Amino acid sequence: MPELPEVETVRRGVEPHVLGRRVLRAVVREPRLRWPVPPEFAGWIEGRRIVATERRGKYLLLRLESADADAPDRLIVHLGMSGRLFVLTAPEPLRKHDHLDLELEGGVLLRYHDPRRFGAVLPWPAAQGRHPLMETMGPEPFSADFHGDYLFERARGKSAAVKTFLMDGGVVVGAGNIYAAESLFRAGIRPTRPAGKVTRAEYVRLAERVREVLAEAVEQGGTTLRDFAGADGRSGYFQQDLYVYGREGEPCRVCGSAIRSLRLGNRQSCYCPRCQR
């Protein structure tokens, strides 16, 4: 499933093509996505200008022109497990699973493609207030609210493994399985350590490594596994720089020890037995 870096890559790819353009027409071919596209969707978005692209966790947000800049309407795009958002500037034959088009000014077409239909395209009117999909989300990893002291305080008394704790979207958004594994390796913390037993100093280091890993992944276009590709259709390549994820049995790039693997919360968790304590 696309994580924060992948969605941020899509946002950056889409932005220069859609910013300032008005939606001339919306075509919904298949409304039965993870959350159905409402029947009034086309009437709601047609004629609206896209004034900003944003991201909250794994959700891409298109901010729409509004009389009240402090209470904007937004469009939510969630890529699910196999969703892609393509920017087309020339006629392109329809393919199976091309579920929704936004025809924009200047001959630009924004096309949502999703074979598994686990994603979504949803209106978010300002009048709705806080959206239920985002009510319980933790801070963004690049925000001032995310730091080592915050993690330390949130972890007090928790016996869950620190990797499970870090992957909790209510604690911080964006630290999915791959990025949590890589961040813990760089911080020298074994994924099985109880979250409540990690020291404040270690959490300070871990918060820094989370930001570092995610920033590198964003700059390199994300980590492509299975179906993800950016808005231009190209794949990310951060997977070339992975230290532990998916490398069970291979030598550690730092110390040479064999990378080990175990399962935490039904997820594979790879780590170096020497570098991580």
Instruction: Determine the 3-state secondary structure of 59 from DSSP.
Output: strand
Widest CA span in the chain: 60
Would you say 116 is a known binding-site residue? yes
| CA quadruple 168, 171, 176, 180: dihedral, nearest 10 | -110
Structure tokens at 105: 């000014």
| Cα-Cα end-to-end distance for the chain | 29
97 assigned to a ligand binding site: yes
Alpha carbons 214 and 201: distance in angstroms, whole number: 20
CA proximity to 270, closest of 241, 239, 249 = 249
Q: Which residues pair with 22 in a beta bridge?
A: 49
Contact present, 19 and 236 (Cβ < 8 Å): no
**Cα 198 to the center of its chain, rounded Å:** 26
Q: Which residues are catalytic?
A: 2-3, 58, 267
Enclosing H/E stretch for 7: helix 4-18
Tell me, letter by letter, the H, E, C secondary structure of 212-230. HHHHHHHHCCCCCCCCCCC
29 SS3 class? coil
Token reading at 29: 């071919």
Binding site for DNA, by residue number, is 97, 116, 158
